[in-house]
Amino acid sequence: MDINTEPTYEPSNSAKAMKLNNGFIWFLCFVPLLGLFFENYAVSRTAGIFLWIMVLLFMLAATAADYVQLKNAQLDVRRLTAWLWLTPVYIYKREKLCGYELYKAIMCGFFIVAALALNGFTQSIRIDEDYMTVSAQSSYVQSLDNFSGSSGKIIGDCIESYLGENAEWNCTKDGYNWTVTVNGSHRNSDYSISFLIVYDGFTYRSFKISDVTKDGKSLSDDDFTNVCKEIFIDTDTDNGSSDNSDKTSS
């Protein structure tokens, strides 16, 4: 053995990890939250399916890119190979391999659970007739598609003011169409007001007043518009007060 030959040392995993770019891992952590954010712009079930498929593909691509980076840095990645498809476990084992703290794996797992619990498809599971009825009652008048103008009034409050506290609500479903109907009396006349809610199992597509009947007769044109305006805008009709700047149109 040549005593003048200096021994060579294999850099530790921690030393190799110091040169790594952790951008892929940070991206992986926040992709589920980005998915929830972009759901606000997914206006249909098809768009929602496309969005979450893209989220999954981005996560898999970022995981694969990070794996290749570790391999090129000559880290022993054999224990990571089986977990490329399961992001939180991959991050956990990757951080242990590199000698890092494990908070990124915990954070990623938490964000994934949040995305699974709060996305539109999961939320749709709890939607039934009672939920849709309450949703219509608690919505703002200005959220109606056939209402023009701005109003801070609540639909349920307007109905109660017009038809009284004993008005009866019910809901039926036909495919993606939910019809919420309320029946009651006003000034010795019987009214039935129907709201059509189109919900495709992921997001709301439409919400409007679909029909108003008075004493069994379905109203149309000016009669429909005037009654809707009286119910949802002119809350003080008995006192002769009205807001003519807003209107409901059929």
What is the distance between the alpha carbons of residues 243 and 247, in angstroms, rounded to a whole number?
A: 9
pTM, full prediction: 0.75
- At 6, the pLDDT band (50, 70, 90 cuts) reads very low
Residue 18 pLDDT: 58
Distance CA 97, CA 91 (A): 10
At 241 the pLDDT is 36
Lookup result for tokens 């805008």: 233
Token couple for 191: 């009214």
pLDDT tens profile 166-223? 999 999 999 999 999 999 999 999 999 999 999 999 999 999 999 999 999 999 999 9
- Whether residue 234 has pLDDT greater than 80: no
Q: Is the pLDDT of residue 114 over 90?
A: yes
* pLDDT for 150 beyond 70: no
Predicted local distance difference test score (pLDDT) of residue 149: 65
Confidence band, pLDDT 50/70/90 cuts, at residue 249: very low
pLDDT single digits (tens) 9-62: 445 555 565 567 788 999 999 999 999 999 999 999 999 999 999 999 999 999
The number of beta carbons lying within 10 Å of the beta carbon of residue 53 is 10
The confidence score (pLDDT) of residue 101 equals: 82
- For residue 39, the tally of other CB atoms under 10 A from its CB is 21
Supply 88's token pair: 């939180």
- The conformational region for residue 142 under phi > 0 = left, psi -120 to 50 = alpha, else beta, is alpha
Is the confidence at residue 158, as pLDDT, over 70? yes
Given the structure tokens 């040169």, which residue do they identify?
A: 19
- Section 158-173 average pLDDT: 95
Nearest to 143 by CA among 82, 94, 88, 208: 208
Q: Which residues are CB-contacts of 220 (< 8 A; sequence separation ≥ 6)? A: 250
Q: What percent of the chain lies above the pLDDT cut of 70?
A: 85
Mean pLDDT rounded to a whole number for the chain: 86
Which of the two residues, 81 and 147, has the higher pLDDT score? 81
Q: Pick the more confident residue, 21 or 7.
A: 21
The arithmetic mean of pLDDT across residues 54-82, rounded, is 92
Give per-residue burial for 2-32: e unless 16+ CB within 10 Å, then b: eeeeeeeeeeebeebbeebeeebbebbbebb
